[in-house]
A = this chain, B = another copy of it.
């Protein structure tokens, strides 16, 4: 067990220790960081005997506290999930190290050599809910990108996370890296989260992951820069030129492939001119997959096997086999609906009209805009990033699926021979 946990330190002391570790990591060669990741994968794979009893304790508390079955499932670890976690860490090893990459550079007229290079943020903080896999995921991504990380997981996973952080620290130290590069403030409860949000100058970036409520609280209260990973009220618009077969396939895939995630379709908009042609086949296919259709009045007139949509439906991320459906007069009305209700995550148009496709791409103000593709493709893995930190719905720094480069900042390097300003 690492010494740091035997003698608890204040949050400030831990952040200072994380800063010192981050200075070491910032100039650690990729090979050494990868050795640390390999040790972490090994530690996760071989220590079920330490991890699972702690997880069992958390699960027993969760049952006593009446945590929902869904949340209990997200909290649960077993041998197979640990193997999956270890394998995810090994995949991070294979990714390119973003640190040191040159973003742009030039030689100035006075001979100064200018280059902008990727550097780690330094100290990343993460506040998330009771999903112990996030502990390992974020630690692995932070280490690969040369960052120290201070974690505040949900209190429901406190015992599991404590063991995981011990294992992470031991693994780092086993290859000569500072164990302080991964720390938890779980033992301070809510005060730990508050301290992270207040730690201006000590935390370089704070990433909240979890429910809309958690993210909202962090964005509102944090005094340190935040990357917001947000909810998705995801729209698809069936244009009058849409191919029927494509509309059915893509819309159904977007809705039912994995309804509980942020890139799943929530609202289907259909051009009034083709509603009679497209709605019956699309919604029949949806019904066959168990989808409950919440339709506006005009759509219900065409597809009566639906429940009446209420106002809240348009702003709701169902995260279930429920779909809001509205008929709109034209592309302009679709754009207006999307502007009003979108959470700026992902929207897609199904069309064969080039002009309307380009208008949709240009005018919809979302992290990802698509033509003739399932919204389920908004994903770091699908985009080829190899691993995903989350999907940013803000516009500052990162937008859309975030990979390792999004966990870095940049630094300007200026090399001269004694130049002065005239």
**Contact present for A418 and B373 (CB under 8 Å):** yes
**Contact present for B200 and A219 (CB under 8 Å):** yes
**A89-B368 Cα distance, complex, nearest whole Å:** 33
Of the stretches A39-47, A60-68, A243-251, the one at the interface is: A243-251
**Contact present for B220 and A413 (CB under 8 Å):** no
**Contact present for A225 and B371 (CB under 8 Å):** no
Q: Which residues of B contact A250 (CB under 8 A)?
A: 418-420
Cβ of A87 under 8 Å from chain B: no
Copies per complex of this chain: 2
**Contact present for B26 and A416 (CB under 8 Å):** no
Chain A residues 392-422 with CB under 8 Å of chain B are 394-397, 399-401, 409-421
Interface of A is mostly: mixed
Question: Looking at chain A, what size class is its interface with the partner chain?
Answer: 35 or more
Cβ of A204 under 8 Å from chain B: yes
**Contact present for B421 and A121 (CB under 8 Å):** no
Chain A residues 360-389 with CB under 8 Å of chain B are 361-363, 365-374, 376-378, 382-384
**A363-B112 Cα distance, complex, nearest whole Å:** 20
**A413-B367 Cα distance, complex, nearest whole Å:** 9
The verdict on A363 contacting B395 (CB below 8 Å), with A411-B368, A418-B243 known, is no
Q: Which residues of B contact A370 (CB under 8 A)?
A: 413-416
Minimum C-beta distance from A406 to chain B (A): 10
**Contact present for A412 and B368 (CB under 8 Å):** yes
Cβ of A223 under 8 Å from chain B: yes
Cβ of A114 under 8 Å from chain B: yes
8 extra interchain contacts, Cβ-Cβ under 8 A, other than A372-B416, A374-B420, A396-B397?
A108-B383, A121-B395, A122-B395, A200-B220, A225-B226, A249-B418, A373-B418, A378-B414
Between A and B, 16 residue pairs with Cβ closer than 8 Å are A119-B365, A122-B395, A249-B418, A250-B418, A250-B419, A348-B414, A361-B413, A366-B411, A368-B414, A369-B411, A370-B416, A371-B416, A373-B418, A376-B420, A377-B416, A399-B410
